[in-house]
Amino acid sequence: MSGTTPEPPARDPRTLIPECAGLAREAVLLAPEPGEPGMRDSSLGGGLLWPADEPWPYCAEEDHWTYGSDPGNRTPIVPGAVPMVPVLQLFARDVPGWDFPEGKDLLQLVWCALIHDGHDGLVTPRLYWRTEAEVMAGALLAEHPGVSEGEYDEDNMPQPSTLSPRVARDYPRWIDLPAKARESWEPRLRSDSGGSLWPADSHHVGTKIGGWPAWTQSADWPDCDGGHRMEHLLTVTGDIQLGDCGGVYVFHCRRCPGLPWDWRFDCY
């Protein structure tokens, strides 16, 4: 035997906390890159495949306003409904690692790019599930309506981006664990220097579908009206400025008919 010091045993928290393994969920990281996505591409901020006979969604909130190009200058927008903006479009063929609801293969998310006075202000997303073949069987909307130039809050407008989805194993943030688990696991996860060995690097912060929410603040899971804890559907964060908003998180319940959904956002 040589006189070398043996390597310290590996201290993978997933070994220290065997229960940890059960928390792994599959996420599809969407990795947006600025580009020119087409209407039949999965995209962030790109054009949506939209039936010509279906009205484009408008936000009817009162009191729209924007900072526009001057952060110090709050500019009210003429009252009235404003068209929403495309945020995310995902075709099932581009995210093979994620199960779409039965019979659906296209997900679309839009939101309002202006700021509201009521209910904490931001985005008010809407979610659509479709079947690509059904949309393609009819006429398509050539161009979605836009409000006049300069009125959008650019912070809330995703730059048109193509996606490079890849499947990754995703773990929750420490704050997303039940308090009981945190209490009993914490001593086992304390490193020699007093820090935590929780695998922070296995929690993916970024725009993704599936996996765990990329909360920047406390966890805040919605329940559906049927009393079920909803499932994390997608997170939009990191790749887009949302004012001082940390991220937008969309949840849904697959156990209830009609796929009820809800959303949350948090701030830095």
Give the residues lining the site for Zn ion (CB under 5 A): 59, 61, 112, 114, 224, 226, 228, 253, 255-256
- How far CA 136 is from CA of 49, 106, 126, in Å, comes to 8, 12, 21
Token readout for 242 is 């949302």
DSSP SS3 for 213: coil
At closest approach, how far in Å is the CB of 146 from Zn ion?
14
Q: How far is the CB of 154 from Zn ion (least distance, A)?
A: 15
Quote the DSSP letter at residue 140.
Answer: B
Q: Least CB distance from residue 40 to Zn ion, whole Å? A: 28
Residue 143 Cβ, how far from Zn ion at the closest point, in Å? 20
CB neighbours of residue 152 within 10 Å: 20
Q: DSSP label at 72?
A: T
Which residue number, 209 or 253, has a Cβ lying nearer to Zn ion? Answer: 253
Q: How far is the CB of 183 from Zn ion (least distance, A)?
A: 29
Q: Which is nearer to Zn ion, 59 or 163 (CB)?
A: 59
For strands 75-76 and 65-66, give the pairing. antiparallel
**Cβ 74 to Zn ion, closest distance in Å?**
15
Alpha-carbon span 25 to 171, nearest angstrom: 7
Amino acid at 85: V
Minimum CB distance to Zn ion, residue 147 (Å)? 10
Report the candidate in 208, 199, 214 with the shortest Cα–Cα distance to residue 245: 214
- How far is the CA of 80 from the CAs of 59, 70, 77, 120, 152, in angstroms? 9, 22, 8, 19, 14
Report the distance separating Cα 67 and Cα 63, nearest Å: 13
Residue number with CB closer to Zn ion (38 or 226): 226
Give the β-pairing of 25-29 and 166-170: antiparallel
For Zn ion, which is the closer residue by CB, 65 or 174?
65
Nearest to 52 by CA among 114, 136, 158, 151: 136
- Residues ≥6 apart with Cβ < 8 Å to 125: 87, 109, 110, 111, 248, 250, 263
